[in-house]
Chain A
Amino acid sequence: MTFLQSILFSILLLQLYFVNSNGNDEEFTEELLLKPLPDRKVFAHFHFDTKTPPSKTYGHHHRLFPKAIYQLVQKFRIREMELSFTQGRWNYERWGAFDPMSSSNAKPPGVELWAVFDVSSDQVDANWKNLTQTLSGLFCASINFLESSTAYSAPAWGFRTFSGKLRYGALPREAVCTENLTPWLKLLPCRDKAGLASILDRPSIYKGFYHSQRLRLRSNEFSLDVSAEEPGIVLEQTLTVVLQPQSQDTRSIYSDGRLLHPSWSISSIFGRAVTGRCVLANLSTIFVELESGLVSGLSNLSVDLEAGRLGAYDLGSEGSWSNQGFELSVKPDRVIKEVNSSQGKSFSILYEYSVDKFDDNEPFDLGFIWKLPVAWSCLHSPFHASRFLMGSGNQRGSIAISLRSTGSSGEGFINGGGIVGDVCKVRVDIFQVVPWYVKVYFHTLQVYVDGKPELLKDILEKMHVSPSEDRVSPGVMEMILKFPCSVKSASIVIDFDKGFLHIDEYPPDANQGFDIPSAVISFPDFEPSMNFLDENSSTKSPMLLKLQEKNPVISYTEILLVPLATPDFSMPYNVITITCTVFALYFGSLLNALRRRVGEEERFLKSKAVNQTRLLPRLLAKLRGKQQEPTQSSPSSSSSPLGPKLIIKIILVAGVAIGWHYYTE
C-alpha cells in the first residue's frame, strides 16, 4: 500500500515538476555558494530566486511571490530595479574582480538603488520619489533621502543602457543592520524558519568582513514586447558575506613555513547547520566552488580534483570525500567543471550538494578540511581602480581616479581588448556622481598615462556631463576612455571648489565631512562568464545561469570624505546680538544728547565743585577713622589751587602716559 502511495506521490511530483517547468507557475529556488578565498577567508553567497508568470495570464494572486513586491512593481511600473545594502568594502585585489560573482555582487558601501520605470519620461521622477519613500518604509532604511533631486541622477549611458528612464542614487553613509535584513527575509516564503536562510545567524554574518544584501527585480509586465523569453516578474535576492573561519588547528604552519588555510564547516562559520530545505523551494542546492587559481594551484601540487567524481579516491564510510589537497566531509552529488574558460587553461570546479535528503535529525554540515598549504591568487580585473582626494584646505581640491594595470591579466587584454587597426586599446567606462556642493570644473580634467600628461582627445572617446546646479541636481560625469594595452598606470584628475551650504543644510554632525558616493568603473571589453558542460542536467539553477551570463567587469571605487568649512553654528545669534548692542548704544547716546541741558549742567557742576571739595576729605576721614578729625576743621587747605590731590592726579596721568609710551616702544 505504501509502495503504491509512494508511486502515486512520485507521479504527482513529476506532474508538479512538469507544470513548473512550463513556466506557468510561481517558482522559488534557494542556493548557496561557498568559496575559500586566497586570504584565508570564506565567501558565502546566498541566492534566492522567486518568479511569477505575468499577471495578464496568471492574475494578481500569488502563493509564493511576495505581495509587497508585486504591488510595488504594479504601482510604480518598475521594469528593473536593484537595491543593495552593504557593509564593508569588497577587496577587489584579494577577493577577485574578474569573475561574474564579484562583478555583479560587489557593491558600494551603504545603500545603492537604481530603477528603470516603464512610464513616460515626465513621470519617471515622480515614480522614483514615491518608490524611495515606499522602499524606505519596506526596508526600514533612510532610502527616502534619495527622494530629493540633489541625491539622485539620471545617467544617460554610463551606468546601464536605458535611455532616460533610469534613475540612480546612493547613500554611502547608511548603516546596515538586522532591521534591514528582517524585512528582506520576510520576502522569502520560508523566511529564516527553514531552508538555507535558517543558517543566517545574525551575530555571525554581521561579524564578517563584508556583508551585502541585494534585491533585484526584473519585470516585463508593462512591456509591449510579449516575445521576451522570461515573462513575468523575477525577484532575485542575494546575500553575500565574507567571513573569517576560526582556525583551531595548531599545526597550521607547515615545515616549509607556508601557512595551511583554516578549515571550516558551515556550522563553524555560521554557527548553525542546514536543517533541510524550504519545502516550497523547487531547488535547494549548496555549491562549493574552487576558483580557477586554486584549481591550478592544486594541480601544480598534483592533486587529482576529479577523483571524487570517478569514485576511485578514498570514499570514507561517513560519506566524506577527500583527496590529497583537502577533504569535504560530505560526498558531493555532482562535480561541475567549467569548460572553455576564457582564462587560459585553468578552470574552476563546483561541487554540488542537494539539501533534499537532510533534515533536523541529520543536519547538513559541510566541512572543508585543508590538507596541504596552497597559495593562489584570484582573478584580477584589467585595472585596479582607486579614487582619492588631493589638495588641502576648505576652499578647493581635486578628485583623482587612479587605474593601475594588474600585470596578471596581460593576456586578457589581447583576448578582450578591442584591436583597432594595429593598436590594442582597452576601453574603460567611468560613471561618477558628485553632490552639488562639490563644484567640479570639467575643463580641468586631466589624464595622465604612465605619469605623463596626455592630450584629452587622444584618450577620451565619449563624454557626457551634466553640471550640478546648486540645491537642484548633482553633477554627473560619464566617460568612455580608451587606453593603449601597454599602459601601466593611468590617472584622471579633476579639480573642484567646495561650495558653501546654508546653515540649515548641514547634517547633525557637520564636522565629520560629506561623502561622495562611489564611482563606477566598468570594463565593457571584458565579459567574464563561466561555461558549464551542463546540458544533461534537468534542473536549471538560477545561480548557475547567473554565472553563465555575460556581464561587463564592474568595480566600485572608494567613497570620498570631503571636509567642508563648518560654520560656527551660534554665529547668526552672535551677529544679531552685537549689531543690536551697537544700535542700542547709538540710540541711547542719541537720546541722552537730545535731552541734555547744557546751561543747567554747568550751573550744577559749579555748585557741585564747591560741594565736592569737601567730599574727598570727608571720605578720607571716614577711611582713616577719627584720627584725622582735626583736618576736617581746616577747609581752607582744600581750596588751595595746588592741592596734593591735583598733584597726585598729574602724577598718575604722567605715569600712564610714560607706561603707554614705554609699552608701545
Chain B
Amino acid sequence: MAENSETQNPTEPLPKMDEEFDPKTMRKTKPGIKRLIMILTVLSSFILGFPFLLKTIEIYRSPLPFHDIDSLSKTLQSNPLLIPCRFQVIYLGFDAAKKLDEQKLGFMINEQMVKLTGGNPICGGCGNDYTVSVTVDSSNVCNRSLNVENSCFWRCGSIDLSGNLNGNDEEIDEMLYSVLRGNENCESSGGKVYSVVVLNKEDDDVDGFRVVVGKYRHAWLVGKLEGIGAVSSIANVFVKFFMNGGKEEGISKNEFMPVGADGRVVLSFSLLNANPQDWVYDWDFRKIDEDLLAPVVEALAPIANLTVESQVLYHTPKSSFSSWDAKLSSYVFRTKDLPFFVNSNEWHLDTSIAAGGRSKVLQFVVYIPSSEECPLRLQLPSGKLSTTNGFISPMWGGVIVWNPPRCFRSSKNMQPQKYTLTSEDLEELLEVSLGQLRQLFGLKSNNLYVGESGMSNVLSSDRGFTEWELDALSRQHTCFNLHSCATTLGSLSRLVQSLPRMIIKDEIGKQVKFSLEAANLAQTNTSRGSYKASAVSSRQARALAEDAFFHPSIMSISYYSFEHCFAVYTPFFLPVALHVLLAAAKEWRRYKQERTKYFMWISKKKVE
C-alpha cells in the first residue's frame, strides 16, 4: 500500500505551496471548535438533564425520621428504661432504748438490695434509681433517714400500736392501707412509695417473725425482731415483690406480654363438651362475667383493654390419648401429651369478630371429657396428680379439665342428661382460670412464696391482681411496649430503605412521627415516675408503630420496580445516548488530531 501511495503522490493534484507542507500531517488553520462545542453542549445537557428526569419519575415517599428511629432504639438498647421507685421502712414498736440508727439501717437495706438486684438493672424494674427511707416511730421518737416531704411518707404516731394490730392479716392490711393511703398522690413526684412496716411484738410466743405482703403497696414483718436481723428480709420483700412483681427469675427483656398490638386483650372462655351424647353441661356465664370477671377487667384496665366473651361448643374431643391408671382409678394424661391436647381441627375456638384488628385473644378452655375418658386427670412428672387439672400455653391461653361428679352414663337412656355447672364449681374453675391468667402475665399463681430467706405470705386480692403486682406489670408493660415500638420502627425503616422505589404515603409518615412522639413522652413520663401515664403513652407508641408497619399501602403491590422504569426508558435513551456519546468521542478525537496537525505546522514554521 505504501508503495502504491508513493507511486500515486506525483500524480495527485495537491496544492503545492512549498515542499515541507504535508496535508496529511499538517494544517495551516486553527481547527474549528464549532461542532465540538455543539456536541459537548448536547452531551452536557443530557448529563445535566438526567437528575431532572429522575426527579420527574420519582415516586412519592414521605420522609421518615430515620435518624430519630435509630436514636430511639439506640437509647433503649444502651440504657434500659429505669422507672424510679421509692421505698420506706417503718419501724414500729421499738423502744427508744434500742437505739436504732435509721441512717445505718437505710444504708444496709440499700446495700442488700443492690446485692439482690445484681447490679445490672433490668428493663421495667426500678433499676438503681431508688431511694430507701427509714423511719423509726416509737412512742416518743420519730427519726427519719431522708428529708422528704411529709405527705408521701409515714407520719409518725398515726397508728396506735396497742389495740389495732391484733386482728388477722386482712384487717391489718386494711388498717395499714387506711394510714398509708396518703401515698396515692405522690406518683408524679418520683414514683410510687412502697412501704414495709416492721412490727415488734415482744409478747409473742413464737420465735422469729412472719412476713406478709399485702394487697396494696405495703408489707409487714411481725414478730420478735432484732433491728438488724430483719434487714435482709426487708430488702428481699422490696426487690422480689415490689420491684419484680413476685416473679422468680425477675423480668427478662424479651418476655412477651399477652397484649395485642392495639392494647386490647380478649378473654375468650369456651366450655367444651367432648361428647354431648353422654352429657351436656352448660354454664351461667352471664353471672360469672358480671360478678367475678368484671373486677379483674377493671383492675387490668391500665395495662390492657380487656373484653370477655364466651361460647359453648360440642363434639370436641381432645387429640391426645389418655390411659387408664388403675391405682388412681382415673384416666391419666401426662405432661408430655400436653402439646397434643388441644385439638385444633375440632376445637373451633375462633378469633373474635368483635375485637378485630390486632388484639390478642386469650383462650380459656374448660374441657369436659366424654364418658370414655372420665375422670380425666393430669399427671405431673413427679407422678402426683395435678391439683388444678389444667395447664397453660404461653401466649395462647389455658385449658382446664373438669370432670363431672358422676362418670357413668346410663346407656339405656337415649336422651343425654343436661346439667348446669353449679356456682361453686364455676367459682372453682374461675379461680384456676385467674391463676392461669396471672401466669400468662408472668405472675405467680399461688400465694405462698418460699425464698431463700424464709417463707412469705402473699395476700391475694379479690380482683385477681394486687396493687404492687399491677405496678410491676405496668412498668414491665411500658418497657415491653417501648422495645416493641423501637423494633417495629426499626424494621420499618430498614424495609423502607431497602426498597427505594416503594411508595410511602403521608399517613405512614405521620404515624411514625406520632409514634416517636408518644415514645418520647413515655420515656419522659417514666423518668418522672408516673406509671400510668407512661403505660398509656407507650401503648400508644406501640399501636401507632404497628399501624404504620401494617399500613395497607405498604402491603400493596403498588410498588413500582426499577426494572419497569428501565424497560420504559431504555428504547429512547439507549440509542440516543449511543449517538451522542459516539459523536462526542469522534469529535473529540478529530479535534485532537487536527490540533496536533496545526501545532506541527506551527513548529515547522517556527523552525523555518
Chain A interface residues toward B at CB < 8 A:
9, 13, 16, 58-64, 66-68, 71-72, 74-75, 134, 138, 186, 189-191, 193-194, 279-280, 356-357, 359, 573, 576-577, 579-581, 583-585, 587-588, 591-592, 594-595, 597, 610
Contact = CB atoms under 8 A, between A and B. Distances in A.
12 contacts: A16-B418, A61-B289, A67-B310, A67-B352, A191-B315, A194-B315, A580-B572, A591-B39, A591-B583, A594-B35, A594-B39, A595-B583
Given A62-B311, A359-B414, A592-B583, A67 B286 contact: no
Given A60-B309, A61-B286, A359-B414, A194 B579 contact: no
Nearest to A137: B353
B348 interface: yes
A186 B348 contact: yes
A58 B359 CA distance: 26
B286 A59 contact: yes
B312 A74 contact: no
Interface stretch (B100-108, B277-285, B530-538): B277-285
B467 interface: no
Given A279-B277, A579-B572, A584-B575, 19 more contacts: A60-B286, A60-B309, A61-B285, A61-B310, A62-B310, A62-B312, A63-B282, A67-B310, A71-B352, A134-B353, A138-B353, A279-B314, A356-B414, A577-B571, A583-B572, A584-B579, A588-B579, A592-B583, A595-B583
Contact of A13 (B286, B415, B567): B415
Nearest to B310: A61
Contacts of B8: 610
B526 to A, nearest CB: 36
B350 A584 contact: no
Contacts of B309: 60-61, 67, 71
B571 A279 contact: no
Given A63-B282, A279-B276, A588 B311 contact: no
Interface in B558-608: 567-568, 571-572, 574-576, 579-580, 583, 586-587
B589 to A, nearest CB: 13
A280 B280 contact: yes
B65 interface: no
Nearest to A189: B314
B567 A573 contact: yes
Given A63-B312, A577-B571, A594 B38 contact: yes
A610 B8 CA distance: 10
Interface string B300-320: 000000000111111100000
A193 B568 CA distance: 59
Nearest to A61: B285
Nearest to A133: B356
Nearest to B285: A61
Contacts of B286: 58-61
Interface in B1-55: 8, 35, 38-39, 42
B57 interface: no
A68 B270 CA distance: 13
A16 B583 CA distance: 99
Contacts of B312: 62-64
Contacts of A584: 571-572, 574-576, 579
B453 interface: no
B150 interface: no
Nearest to A134: B353
B157 interface: no
A352 to B, nearest CB: 19
Contacts of A186: 348
A75 B348 CA distance: 21
Contacts of B576: 583-584, 587-588
A580 B578 CA distance: 14
B414 A357 contact: yes
Contact of A194 (B39, B277, B289, B586): B277
Interface in B103-162: none
Nearest to A594: B38
B413 interface: yes
Nearest to A58: B286
Contacts of A194: 276-277, 315
Nearest to B348: A186
B97 interface: no
B63 interface: no
A75 B354 contact: yes
B571 A580 contact: yes
B416 interface: yes
A595 B38 contact: yes
B354 A74 contact: yes
Contacts of B417: 9
Contacts of B280: 279-280
Nearest to A583: B572
Contacts of A573: 567-568
B348 A190 contact: no
Contacts of B415: 9, 13, 279
Nearest to B308: A61
Contact of A71 (B283, B315, B354): B354
A9 B314 contact: no
Name the residue among A576, A580, A583, A594 with the largest chain B CB count within 10 angstroms: A580
Contacts of A74: 354
A194 to B, nearest CB: 7
Interface string B516-545: 000000000000000000000000000000
B57 to A, nearest CB: 13
Nearest to A581: B571
A61 B350 CA distance: 15
A61 B291 CA distance: 14
A489 B438 CA distance: 75
A293 to B, nearest CB: 39
A192 to B, nearest CB: 9
B563 to A, nearest CB: 13
A63 B309 CA distance: 12
Nearest to B577: A584
Contact of A595 (B39, B277, B418): B39
A71 B353 contact: yes
B284 to A, nearest CB: 8
A577 B569 CA distance: 9
A591 B571 contact: no
B583 A193 contact: no
Given A584-B576, A595-B35, A279 B567 contact: no
Contacts of B574: 584
Nearest to B312: A63
Contacts of B414: 356-357, 359
Contacts of B350: 67-68
Closest 7 CB pairs of A and B: A580-B572, A580-B571, A584-B575, A193-B315, A61-B285, A59-B286, A71-B353
Contacts of A579: 572
Contact of A588 (B356, B567, B575): B575
A279 B354 contact: no
Contacts of B289: 59, 61
Contacts of A138: 353
A591 B45 CA distance: 14
B418 to A, nearest CB: 7
Contacts of B310: 61-62, 67
A138 B353 CA distance: 9
B356 to A, nearest CB: 8
B343 to A, nearest CB: 13
